[in-house]
Amino acid sequence: MSNLATIVQSYYSLNTFQVLRDLWEQMTGLIGVDARNLTNADLTIEQSDLPQFSLIRSPNFQALLKGRAIDTTSVDQIEVEITFVWADIDRFLAPLVSVLPLSTCHSDRSNGNDSSLQSHFTQLLLTVISRDCLNEREIYLQQQVTEAHLLNWISAQIHHTLDLDIIIQTVVEKVQQFLKSDRLIIYQIDSNQTLDSIGDPISNFDRIKGKVVFEAAATPELKSALDLMEGEDCFRDDRLCSQYQAGMTKAIDDVQIEYANYPCLLSLMERYQIRSKLIIPIVVDRRLWGFSIAHQCQYIRHWQVGETKFLGQVSEHLAFAIHQSQLYIASQFHTQSLEQLVNERTRELRDAVIVAQTANQSKTEFLALLSHELRTPLTSILGLSATLLRLPSLNLTDRQQTYLQTIHNSGEHLSELIDDILDFYKLEVGKTFLKISEFSLSKLIKQIIEIVRPKAESARVDLQFEIINNGHNVSKISGRDLRFRGDTKRIRQILLNILINAIKFTPEDGTVILRAWLEDRYAIFEIEDSGIGIEEEQIPRLFKKFHQLNPNYDRNYAGMGLGLAITQQLVELHGGWIDVDSIVGSGSTFTVRLAAQPLQLPDGKDWGEMDRKLCLQDPELNPIPKRIILIEHEENIANLMCDILTAARYQVTWLLSVESSFRQISVLQPDLLIIDLAVGEHTVDRTIQNIRKSTIIGETKILAIASKDDILSQAVKECVDDYLWKQINPEQLLRKIAKLLSD
């Protein structure tokens, strides 16, 4: 407030202005008969443009109170002016000389108010003004509390629901009531019309084009502006668009003045009775989305700074809600798109699985065909060639002997290739598992050496082995054995693959040494050769399937490149690793480390007993004729086996069917029964069980012919003494028979 000796000008409520007028009347009475209080009522002619006033006029004291309403209708607040300056009072009275009593228009003094009167009046005035300020402060605080409560409520609504329409409509109604505006609308810009992130107009954005999407009105009689759209030429100002984009607000007290140069907009304001408006932009993610607009229709309204700030805060909350809704819609769209993509990928994967299953089934059928259709004629090739080679009565020439030997060797090589392919397939599809048993590592090494020795001798390679126990070479020391737990068959296969490979790539007069020892819970095998060696950069490629290190090897060394690939997988299946050290021209050393396996057999199968029976022995062939009964329904295999056994001086009886075999077996009482398990599963089981129960033939040795993929029944496991795989190898057949008949 300015110096009371000169002028006081501020805003007060209507009630406070009335109290001030009463104070002027009271002060006039205190001064006495020389004082007079002049008001608008004393004018002889009404002055419509004159503010409400009270004037104390006396020879020693003058005070002028003026009050002007902020707008022409609302009188909630009054602009109040108080002055004690006599010259200012005279200037106020000068235009009123003709409409006021003549005695009041001139003062007798010009030296100002009496100090005592001025002091007393000032105290009274300050009391009234202070009381009004306290009331105004209380009203302001109440308004701030209400605003904060409303903003918190809006924030809670936004976090409570994702339904944007409900949020905005509820907020618009609440804010319209709080601002006491005649209408509050949300104007949304056309979604195809936007600004870029730095505020530059794009897409020919030279006007704000959109429509009213939400509305709340004070009375139902007020014309609705919902769905209102501006005309095509109503607004063209791209600079103003950019300013709104930057967050500018616009408070318009009188639309008649503001839109004087915009006839289209002015006509629109008149059509919807808009006299004042407050425009707040809604900026979502740095883009102008629309506006919050308050309308005053009944009178011209001066918008307060607090009202503008509050509506701005509401618009920020709405912008957050809109952005949240957009993100939710986008996430829903992406979720649906992702779900659709997942469904498409699922269908594609399902189709791929079906194709893979079909291909796998075809592969399985092909391998079954490979196993059966190739092995059957291959068995004849191997068996007959071996039989012919064993018959001295044929008197073959050297060339014929060479041809037969070539046929036999080629058959063996083809058999090895088929075995490699089948083994590799089982490893790839995870159908290979370990059949664990505890066995003699020393005996296994000796058996492997005996198997490989003929190949080494044929290649003129010196084959040696060393079994190390506690640092001593016990290869020739009896009574010291190394026990290990693992899959005997697979360990044999690992060592055979490496040894045969070493012999293949070792020149004549070279050396191959197999060393074996136990270290903690591991079995260590070291195969050292003096062969051609491997280049260092080629070693990582050594265990790749269908791969040989040098193209020339395809011509010089036979093979498909599967042996070492299978070996590595079998080693890893044992929880071990394989390492290679090599020097080109000097030789290579393969080191295999296998972990001891727990004696927990899959499916409860007793594979240990079977593996012990499958360990190859090399006894001398029995020269004494023995009686053998062969039960085989395939004529080719039966003829082959009969020829082989006859050439080996065994007495052979071939039975085609198993149904009536028990009586014949009982009569003939053979030393050995060879039976093909494929002639009838249940009949075979019943026959061999009856044999074992018989007091006459119960001790007869039984050799079963089975496929590697056959699932053996419990009766077969309990009653059969040994097994012979379907691809019959004459030497293996004769060794097994010799072993069984010698026990």
Least confident interval from 27-41, 52-66, 140-154, 480-494: 140-154
Q: How confident is the model at residue 560 (pLDDT cuts 50, 70, 90)?
A: low
Which of 271-285, 408-422, 694-708 is most confident? 271-285
pLDDT at 104 over 60: no
The larger pLDDT score, comparing residue 559 to residue 33, is at 33
Assign 247 a pLDDT band (cuts: 50, 70, 90).
confident
Dump pLDDT digits (tens) for 694-736: 888 888 999 988 876 667 788 788 888 888 887 777 778 888 8
Q: What is the pLDDT of residue 579?
A: 92
pLDDT in tens, 485-502: 998 888 988 999 899 989
pLDDT given for residue 619 in this prediction: 32
Q: Is a pLDDT exceeding 80 seen at residue 66? A: yes
Residue 379 in contact with residue 637, Cβ under 8 Å?
yes
- pLDDT > 90 in the chain, percent: 16
- The DSSP string of 282-330 is EEETTEEEEEEEEEE-SS-----HHHHHHHHHHHHHHHHHHHHHHHHHH
In eight-state DSSP terms, residue 264 is H
Q: Which of 204-208, 262-266, 655-659 comes out lowest in average pLDDT?
A: 204-208
625-629-630-635 Cα dihedral, nearest 10 degrees: 90
Determine the pLDDT at residue 491. 92
253 pLDDT above the threshold of 50: yes
Task: Please check the confidence at residue 615 and state whether its pLDDT lies above 50.
Answer: no
Reported confidence tier of residue 677, pLDDT bands at 50, 70, 90: confident
- Please report, for residues 209, 255, 265, the alpha-carbon distance to residue 238 in angstroms, rounded to integers and kept in the order given: 12, 20, 16
- Give pLDDT, residue 587: 92
Q: Of the spans 45-49, 161-165, 443-447, 732-736, which averages the highest pLDDT? A: 443-447
pLDDT for 694 equals 86
Does the pLDDT at position 617 exceed 50? no
Cβ neighbours for 519, distance < 8 A, ≥ 6 positions apart = none
Q: What is the pLDDT of residues 145-171, one digit of tens each?
A: 777 778 888 888 877 777 888 888 988
Where is pLDDT greater, at 10 or 126? 126
- The residue among 110 and 580 whose pLDDT is bigger is 580
3-class DSSP assignment, residue 523: strand
For residue 679, the model assigns a pLDDT of 77
> For residues 304 and 181, what is the distance between their CA atoms, to the nearest angstrom?
13
Closest by Cα among 459, 541, 548, 441 to 500? 459
pLDDT score, position 426: 67
Which of 78-92, 242-256, 497-511: highest mean pLDDT? 497-511
Asked whether 276 and 295 are in contact (CB, 8 A), the reply is yes
The Cα–Cα gap between 569 and 487 comes to 14
Contacts of 300 (CB under 8 A, 6+ apart): 71, 72, 73, 253, 254, 275, 276
Quote the pLDDT of residue 44. 80
Asked if 35 and 57 count as a contact pair (C-beta separation under 8 A), the reply is yes
pLDDT at 30: 87
The confidence score (pLDDT) of residue 620 equals: 31
Token representation of residue 472: 């001593």
The average pLDDT across 387-410 equals 79
Higher pLDDT, 467 or 542: 467
Q: What is the mean pLDDT of the chain?
A: 79
Give the model's pLDDT for residue 428.
65
* pTM over the 0.95 mark: no
Among the listed ranges 148-162, 368-382, 622-636, which one has the minimum average pLDDT value?
Answer: 368-382
